[in-house]
Amino acid sequence: MTINCLIVDDELLARRLLTDYVGKIPELKLIATCASAVEAQGFLQKQRIDLLFLDIHMPDVNGISLLRSLSNKPVTIFTTAYAEYAVQGYELFVLDYLLKPIPFERFFQAVSRAVEYVDLLSTKALPRNSEMEALPGDTSNEYIFVKSDYKIHKIAHSDIDVVEAYGEYILIYCGRQKIMTLGQMGKMEQMLPKPGFVRVHRSFIVNFSKIDAIQGGTIYIGERQVPLSKGYRDAFMELVQKSRLF
């Protein structure tokens, strides 16, 4: 599939770098670049954009204000030199947050998630403002119920490998099956039993029993690689230590 994308950044060198990066990924089609949020807002009203690369610090109107003003938000990746806006980014359901200078490897990682996300949205025809939500239940049960595809799915805890935040949606991996539902990671974390399920990243929860290996900041579950962030590392490694035989 082809994903229409827009770059918004007031720095010429940043626009050139991102343009070069976008050109290296076949699935991406760069529709335009904008040097200001005002220019981008007018463009977004006329053109369908699937993926938005958005700077935060810009003159007149910043990227956060632009995103808040959009009724139909594209999948958005912040590209910024300021780490302190990460929390606001996640509150706006931004898919990823890239800190400048952005290495291509990190850009490619973010875009890979975005491509999968846009593909899931188009394949399942899920409206971004859908009324789907996770249904809270008794965590002593061995399953949860979630709304997806206009159905209510019963998912056994033992079938869940990884839960991942995808913007305003949550993606539940059960082997090769993927179930997407509207909701927040905090709510999903409350629904799943502890210590069986562990938050290892702002965007990831893992089934502890499904872990195959841990290496540095990466957790391996089958073919999937899950990042282990510094903020969750100590609590996670404490669980690992309790489970070690030596």
More confident residue, 134 or 202: 202
Task: Answer yes or no: is pLDDT of 49 > 90.
Answer: yes
What domains appear along the chain, each with residue ranges and CATH number? 3-124 (3.40.50.2300), 134-243 (2.40.50.1020)
Lowest mean pLDDT among 34-48, 62-76, 100-114, 165-179: 165-179
CB 54 within 8 A of CB 25: no
Per-residue pLDDT tens digits for 125-158: 444 433 334 444 455 578 888 887 777 888 999 9
Percent residues over pLDDT 90 in the chain:
50
Q: Which of helix, strand or coil describes residue 195?
A: coil
Pick from 230, 195, 188: which is nearest to 211 by CA? 195
Number of other CB atoms surrounding residue 238 within 10 Å? 10
pTM over 0.75: no
Q: Supply 27's token pair.
A: 């699935």
Per-residue pLDDT tens digits for 97-130: 899 999 999 999 999 988 888 887 776 544 443 3
Per-residue pLDDT tens digits for 64-80: 999 999 988 899 999 99
Where would I find the beta strands (DSSP E) of the chain?
3-8, 28-34, 51-54, 75-80, 96-99, 134-135, 143-148, 151-156, 162-166, 169-174, 177-182, 197-201, 204-207, 213-215, 218-221, 224-227
Q: What pLDDT was estimated at residue 34?
A: 97
CB 167 within 8 A of CB 94: yes
Please name the amino acid found at residue 91: E
Q: Which of helix, strand or coil describes residue 203?
A: coil
Q: What pLDDT was estimated at residue 85?
A: 64
Measured in whole angstroms, how far is the alpha carbon of residue 74 from the centre of its chain? Answer: 13
CA 54 – CA 104 distance, rounded (Å): 16
The DSSP element (H or E) to which 215 belongs, if any, is strand 213-215
CA 53 – CA 15 distance, rounded (Å): 10
Q: Which of helix, strand or coil describes residue 245?
A: coil
Distances in whole angstroms, Cα of residue 104 to Cα of each of 51, 119, 169: 17, 22, 26
Q: What is the chain's mean pLDDT, rounded?
A: 86
**Burial status of residue 227 (CB atoms within 10 A of its CB: 0-12, 13-18, 19 or more):** middle
